[in-house]
Structure 1
Amino acid sequence: MLMSVIARSCEPVALPELKGARVLITGLTPAFGFDIARAFADHGAHLVIQSPDDGPEMTELAAVLAENSSEISLFTTALDTNDAATRFVQAAAQDAGSFDMVVNLVTVGAASRLETADDVEDAISDAMFLPLRLTEVAANRMRLVWAEGGILNVVRMADAAGGRAMMLADMLRAELSQLTRGLARQWADQGIRVNAIAPPTSIAVTGGEGQASEADVAATALQLASRKGRSVSGHVLDAAGAARRWC
């Protein structure tokens, strides 16, 4: 759980070390991710944003983020293949001079559309594809310039209620946990930390817990990017309620 690896705090948190920090956020859309980017922008970070949405709303959101961030770059490059993801991260890292924090946002489609076991396996494979590739490439770019940093993979579901959705959430969480531990071990010697936020388990949903809100993800990402998060790696974090805990 989040609070098992990051101490509880109920004071307003100032994170001056994030001023000028180079932060890559992938998968940001008008529907999800803006508050996460804004949290870093409000701390004066240098933002590099990738979005699959090239509409005018994304342009407007980028303009709002530019008001407080030290610098911002918006890319609407599609990351639909290994090669596309690799080329994008390599080019973005070269422009920025590496990254201090990477946040990859992935949303899994409605579980109600999954009718067979093959559909479920394909959904899990698709959900893990980008976090795995983006983490590997971003970590390698950090290593090449001897830069320590953090990577947070956030996997959300379009719907988290219902038996089929809860089953899928449990499977996603298990797969993401295994992936995160493996990547964290792989890059630990380079000072690169890898963590994740997954959909809640079926037990948590049954107990009334929902998915982490965007504000929760933003609060967690800030803490992981700060000095307080520099000993945290290999965890699937329970971020629900983090925005209240880090009030």
Structure 2
Amino acid sequence: MNLSGSTALVTGATAGIGRAVALQLAREGAEVVVHGRDADRGRAVVGEIEAGGRAARFVQADLTDAADVLRLAERAGEVDVLVNNAGIYRFLPTSQMTAELFDLHMNLNTKAPYLLVRALAPGMAERGGGSIVNVSTLAAAVPTKGTGMYAASKAALEQLTRVWAAEYADQGVRVNAVAPGPTRTPGTDDMDAATLKAVADTTAMRRVAEPAEVAEAIVFLASDRASDITGVVLEVAGGRLGIG
């Protein structure tokens, strides 16, 4: 999956899946634009990449602010790979959702990727090709109590993935999504062992994935190894439990 000579922008790249994606893209030869909110963590990821002899730079931006999203796109410049990974999740029953929290989920999980694709995909098309990978969630396909805001924002992102794939296919730009299941991230670090096991037991493989496992699928879709794949939502979720 040689990505030498390409530039990749990864949002939310300072921890979890995004960090793993940034490191793997760099190992494949891409120059990585590391996005995040925390400058110290951003510099740490850039340092890891540079220690491996690869190139990276950090751009700080608040993806809930449309103007800042567009600034990020401008600072990133000409990118060949866009990974829309940054996101937020708050699990609450519908009766406890607030309008502000709903807007936050839609702005960060759906609107920010839309703005970045609108800003960067035309340049990819003009240069003859590119790849966009959106990070969704298994919750977009499997109804789960309390995930309404999160699942709705990611389901919208999955439909946008299919629409963008159709719009840009004849211009050489591929657009896909990866839908992770339970994954070990900073969000799971606060879970006790019993809760983590309960989460793992919702998958057929009965385990929680590591960020690097999800990153493998994302980097594959971003690379030319997936040259005939577009408009796909790939589940990386340990399989679904059967009935009986």
- The answer to whether 1:147 aligns with 2:144 is no
- The answer to whether 1:229 aligns with 2:226 is yes
Match for residue 54 of structure 2?
A: 70
The TM-score normalised by the length of structure 2 is 0.74
Match for residue 183 of structure 1?
A: 164
**How many aligned positions are there?**
217
For each residue in 1:210-247, what CA deviation from the matched residue of structure 2 results, as whole angstroms up to 9, or x when unmatched? Answer: 776422321112211222211111122112359xxxxx
Gaps of 5+ in 1: 1-14, 243-247
Higher relative contact order, structure no. (Cα contacts within 8 Å, ≥ 6 residues apart): 1
Gaps of 5+ in 2: 183-198, 240-244
- Give the residue type in structure 2 aligned to 1:24: L
Counterparts in 2 of 1:86 and 1:141: CA distance versus 1, 3 Å: farther
The TM-score normalised by the length of structure 1 is 0.74
Match for residue 245 of structure 1?
A: none
Distance 1:119 1:33 in 2: 25
2:6–2:80 contact (8 Å) kept in structure 1: yes
> Runs in 1 of length 4+ with deviation above 6 angstroms?
none
Match for residue 218 of structure 1?
A: 215
Match for residue 196 of structure 1?
A: 177
1:106–1:155 contact (8 Å) kept in structure 2: no
2:181–2:238 contact (8 Å) kept in structure 1: no
For each residue in 1:8-53, what CA deviation from the matched residue of structure 2 results, as whole angstroms up to 9, or x when unmatched? Answer: xxxxxxx2x3123211111222344221111112222211111111
Computed over aligned residues only, the root mean square deviation of the Cα atoms, in angstroms, reads 3.3
For each residue in 1:167-202, what CA deviation from the matched residue of structure 2 results, as whole angstroms up to 9, or x when unmatched? Answer: 45553443222111111112122111111123559x
Distance 2:164 2:209 in 1: 23
After TM superposition, give the deviation of residue 74 of structure 1 in Å: 1.1
Counterparts in 2 of 1:223 and 1:69: CA distance versus 1, 3 Å: farther
1:212–1:240 contact (8 Å) kept in structure 2: yes
- The answer to whether 1:50 aligns with 2:35 is yes
- The answer to whether 1:138 aligns with 2:120 is yes
For each residue in 1:118-149, what CA deviation from the matched residue of structure 2 results, as whole angstroms up to 9, or x when unmatched? Answer: 467535522211111111211022134x2301
